[in-house]
Amino acid sequence: MARLTNDEADKVFESNLRRQEGILTQRLNSNFNQLSRDIQRLMESYNFVGAATAVELNDVVLEQILLEAYERGNRVGSRMAARDLEEDESMAEEAALLALLLWRAGTAEEMSKKINRTTKKIYDKILSAVTEDLTERDPAGVILRTPTTSEVSKEVAKRTKAENKRRAGTISTTESQRGIQEGANKTGEQVEYQILKQWRSQRDKRVRDTHKRADGQTVPMDGLFKVGKGEGRYPHDSRLPTAETIGCRCYLRFKKVARTP
């Protein structure tokens, strides 16, 4: 299959990313909504400890969701890299499979715990705020009425659901991209040629200044891109500062230079 032009690759990549984001956003929202329902149910049963535990244990479910997302993303990245390098897609994907399996497992576990730590902080903050907001006081600050468990549970569930819905989109873009770019990079590493890789931005108004400056930067396959104050192997590399990965839509392109001896 012929190598795509940059403009064609932009469109194919953007379409693939939107598809991956849509699936992951749906899965995350479903998980977060169920978590909100569990919180409300447990709190209404006066099981506040159980509600907190439900939040803490949610990383197990998130890990499986991310594992599946990374698998889909790795496949997309591998195929785009193979097309750049004019290699057979199934062969390139198979060559990178073992490395990607190991990466998926470790990264899904790491990121699910990281996401869930934030979820726990949000839950604790919301619980404290709701209790204070629903407590009625006179002008002197004397408590006139404390909220019922039912009132607290409904409001906590409502706010938790809203906050997690807001997070789902950002998480989906970041983690979909992480899977795609790792798949592309691993595939490039497996091809028996000297390979150059290039940082490619979407070149629109949404691209941050540091990524505009990185656009077109080309390095050897084992090289690092300089992005802002950090360095990374590809967009969304965990080595890059978080400020350079959140919401990033940049991607890799590859080019063969010469066959190795």
- The pLDDT value given to residue 25: 98
- The pLDDT value given to residue 92: 80
- The pLDDT value given to residue 258: 67
pTM of the model: 0.91
Contacts for 23 with CB less than 8 Å, ≥ 6 apart: 69, 72
Furthest-apart CA pair in the chain: how many Å? 83
Of the candidates 261, 46, 228, 61, the residue with the CA atom closest to the CA atom of residue 148: 46
Residue written as tokens 């990549």?
Answer: 13
Tokens (6 digits) for 57: 């244990």
Residue written as tokens 């991607």?
Answer: 251
- The pLDDT value given to residue 128: 96
Per-residue pLDDT of the chain (261 residues; tens, 9 = 90+): 678 999 999 999 999 999 999 999 999 999 999 999 999 999 999 999 999 999 999 999 999 999 999 999 999 999 999 999 998 888 888 888 889 999 999 999 999 999 999 999 999 999 999 999 999 999 999 999 999 999 999 999 999 999 999 999 999 999 999 999 999 999 999 888 899 999 999 999 999 999 999 999 999 999 999 999 999 999 999 999 999 999 999 999 999 986 555
Handedness of CA 199, 203, 204, 210 (dihedral sign): positive
Q: Phi and psi dihedrals of 231, rounded to 5?
A: -135, 145
Buried b (16+ CB within 10 A) or exposed e, 48-77: beebbebbeebbebbbebbbbbbebbbbbb
Which DSSP helix (H) or strand (E) runs through 258? strand 251-259
Domains of the chain are 6-192 (1.20.120)
3-class DSSP state of 137: strand
3-class DSSP state of 149: helix
